Amino acid sequence: MYSGVLGTKLTCEIYIGCVYYQRLRHMVGDKYQVRSNGAVNPVTRQPVKGRKFGGGIPFGEMERDSLLAHGAAYLLHDRLHTYSDYHTADICLRCDSLLSTTPAIQQKSSAAFAMGLGSSKESKVICRVCN
């Protein structure tokens, strides 16, 4: 064997043996995470966190700023509003407060209900402030 620095022949014995190595888990196939829609937190209506729960990747302030700088307003609205915590609510026309949906059990005596086509439970929207 020859020296890599001087180019002279080495006089000492050098052991050349088998090399053993293990592959680390830092490969693309082990790290990628994709989500179109999935589980959401019922309190905040935002996607849950973590690959274990089928959640989303955090989309922070710097990512938001980069989308704004690139002029991708539609993508920004799509990711942060439509697919994140989008929710519609009913508003009372008299007092401008949010209406709550409560299940109201109504007995119907129509022919459609008798044949099993109707439903006995319907959602009724009421204003708790006005009523």
Question: What is the model's pLDDT at position 54?
Answer: 77
The confidence score (pLDDT) of residue 105 equals: 56
User: How high is the pLDDT of residue 5?
Assistant: 92
Helix extents (H) in the chain: 28-31, 61-69, 73-77, 111-114
Check if the beta carbon of residue 39 is closer than 8 Å to that of residue 48. yes
- How many Cβ atoms sit within 10 Å of the Cβ of residue 47? 22
Same domain, 116 and 80: no
**pLDDT tops 90 at residue 69:** yes
Q: What is the pLDDT of residue 46?
A: 78
Neighbours of 85 (CB within 10 A): 13
| pLDDT for the residue numbered 65 | 92
Radius of gyration over every alpha carbon of the chain, rounded to an integer in angstroms: 32
The pLDDT of residue 29 is above 90? no
Residues 32 and 51 in one domain: yes
Q: What is the model's pLDDT at position 109?
A: 53
21 and 78 inside one domain: yes
pLDDT score at 88: 80
Residues 6 and 63 in one domain: yes
* Domain that residue 3 falls in: 1-87
Q: What three-state secondary structure class fits 100?
A: strand
CA distance 53 to 46: 13
Q: Are residues 120 and 64 in the same domain?
A: no
- CATH code of the domain in which 35 resides: 3.90.1800
User: Backbone phi, then psi, for 124, in 5-degree steps?
Assistant: -120, 130
Residue recorded with tokens 């402030």: 129
pTM score above 0.75: no
Question: Is there a single domain that holds both residue 70 and residue 127?
Answer: no
